[in-house]
């Protein structure tokens, strides 16, 4: 048996380690080195143990060459460590270095972190030395962002990135305190509107309108599937014909289709739990069947990230993404409310359908089962996001619960005796 001897840089006292890689190959016949693999969707993966957190982490790339570039850069950074320059760097520089070390995170996550840093790059506190930042300065930053019209949720996400960067420095024993570790609700009132699911009546009214409307009936299957499956809109857009198993009534969720700056791309599920198969109920089965029978695919199937066979297309034959569906939904909502002035529905958007689905299944599945269906990383996410539904469900069950003793009967009996 032949073996390929290769050099892999590992984090081990800065020394170069020689490792033998077995004769494993990718789909193109290229030999894969140790810890490298190719996923069924063609994406390349490299696994390693983070020397700081001791957690198993992963790098991903569309090509083997790109993956190996990432490997080389990763170990270069890990072997050199973060250059804190004796804590003489600014908050901005610290966050930049923190983001640079997020090699195992999804590209979209890193882009989001960079976007959050950009939101505050002009604020004075961001350019202070990390040792000089005070809690009062952080409170002023929060107040300034709120005054500038930033939403509570947005401000929270920005502070979370700054907090995480400081935690990295604390773990490396460069600093001992984290001024960004304050509780947001102690500084700013959470004015975020609570998400509410659609009621049963609203669902019926909305679906009936879509079914009968001359313009929007062609989108019935697409809108209804969000309600009947609970998937994220980017996951629905990422579905291909091969992801549907009608015989076993299964839907395979393994990717998200997105578009940024005019370019389509395939993104991995948000969490490991996001890569899942879910059941196909009768309503979903009907919608998918009808959809495939009337699928208006262009002559030349679009290919994104090696995938083709998408289910939804724009008028010019491009695959639909979340913003396309949200836009059509908004126009449909406007028409519905114009026709139903006394029975309007507000805030109709894709994620509200997912919210509705999850709320409805809270009393039909265990939290662990529902977590698997929704693709959440932990059951805690369901409790946090849908906590209001849990409270209402608990109150409803309590109101309907049977008591050991029927007090009303006892009282009636006592009153009867008194009269006797």
Catalytic annotation present for 232: yes
318 and 310 Cβ atoms separated by less than 8 Å: no
Nearest in space to 251 (alpha carbons), one of 288, 294, 222, 293: 288
Catalytic annotation present for 290: no
Catalytic annotation present for 388: no
Catalytic annotation present for 101: no
Catalytic annotation present for 270: yes
Nearest in space to 296 (alpha carbons), one of 407, 221, 352: 221
Q: Which own/partner pairs from 380-383 qualify as long-range (CB within 8 Å, at least 24 positions apart)?
A: 382/358
**Which of these is catalytic: 70, 77, 106, 351?**
351
Q: For residue 134, count other CB atoms closer than 10 A to its CB.
A: 12
**Which of these is catalytic: 116, 255, 276, 376?**
376
**Which of these is catalytic: 259, 328, 354, 355?**
354
Catalytic annotation present for 417: no
Residues sharing a CB contact under 8 Å with residue 352, sequence separation 6 or more, in sequence order = 195, 197, 198
**Which of these is catalytic: 44, 46, 336, 386?**
386
Q: What does the alpha-carbon distance between residue 230 and residue 323 come to, in Å, rounded to a whole number? A: 18
User: By 3-state DSSP, what share of the chain in percent is helix, strand and coil, each rounded to 5?
Assistant: 50, 15, 40
Nearest in space to 219 (alpha carbons), one of 338, 293, 323, 312: 312
**Which of these is catalytic: 270, 276, 328, 355?**
270
Residue by residue, DSSP assigns 13-79 as TT-EEEEEEPSEE-TTSPEE-TTEEE-TTS-EEEEEE-TTT--EEEEEESSHHHHHHHHHHHHHHHH
Q: Tell me which residue has tokens 């996410």.
A: 381
**Which of these is catalytic: 116, 232, 352, 355?**
232
Partners of 321 in beta bridges: none
Active site residues: 232, 270, 351, 354, 376, 386
């Amino acid at each position: 048996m032949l073996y390929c001897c290769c050099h892999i840089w590992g984090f081990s006292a800065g020394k170069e380690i020689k490792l033998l890689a077995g004769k494993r190959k990718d789909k193109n016949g290229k030999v894969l080195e140790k810890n490298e693999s190719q996923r069924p969707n063609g994406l390349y993966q490299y696994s390693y143990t983070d020397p700081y957190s001791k957690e198993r982490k992963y790098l991903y790339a569309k090509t083997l060459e790109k993956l190996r570039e990432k490997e080389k850069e990763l170990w270069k950074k890990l072997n050199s460590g973060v250059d804190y320059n004796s804590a003489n760097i600014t908050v901005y520089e610290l966050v930049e270095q923190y983001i640079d070390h997020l090699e195992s995170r999804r590209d979209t996550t890193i882009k989001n972190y960079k976007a959050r840093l950009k939101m505050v790059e002009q604020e004075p506190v961001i350019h202070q030395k990390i040792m000089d930042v005070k809690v009062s300065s952080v409170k002023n930053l929060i107040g300034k962002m709120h005054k500038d019209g930033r939403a509570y949720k947005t401000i929270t996400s920005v502070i979370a990135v700054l907090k995480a960067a400081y935690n990295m420095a604390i773990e490396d024993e460069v600093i001992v305190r984290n001024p960004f570790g304050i509780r947001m609700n102690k500084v700013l009132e959470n004015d975020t509107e609570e998400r509410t699911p659609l009621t049963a009546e609203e669902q019926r009214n909305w679906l009936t309108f879509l079914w009968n409307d001359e313009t929007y009936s062609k989108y019935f299957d697409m809108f209804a599937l969000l309600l009947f499956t609970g998937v994220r809109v980017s996951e629905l857009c990422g579905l291909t014909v091969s992801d549907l198993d009608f015989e076993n009534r299964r839907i395979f969720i393994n990717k998200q289709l997105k578009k940024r700056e005019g370019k389509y791309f395939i993104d991995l599920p948000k969490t490991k739990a996001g890569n899942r198969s879910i059941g196909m109920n009768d309503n979903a089965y009907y919608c998918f069947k009808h959809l495939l029978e009337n699928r208006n695919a262009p002559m030349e199937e679009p290919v994104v990230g090696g995938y083709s066979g998408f289910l939804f297309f724009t008028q010019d034959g491009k695959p639909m993404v979340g913003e396309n569906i949200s836009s059509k939904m908004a126009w449909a909502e406007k028409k519905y409310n114009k026709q139903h002035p006394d029975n309007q529905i507000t805030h109709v958007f894709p994620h509200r359908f997912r919210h509705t689905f999850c709320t409805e299944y809270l009393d039909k599945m265990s939290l662990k089962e529902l977590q698997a269906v929704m693709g959440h990383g932990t059951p805690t996410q369901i409790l946090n996001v849908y906590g209001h539904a849990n409270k209402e469900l608990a109150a409803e069950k309590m109101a309907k619960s049977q008591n050991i003793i029927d007090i009303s009967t006892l009282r009636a009996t006592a009153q009867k005796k008194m009269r006797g």
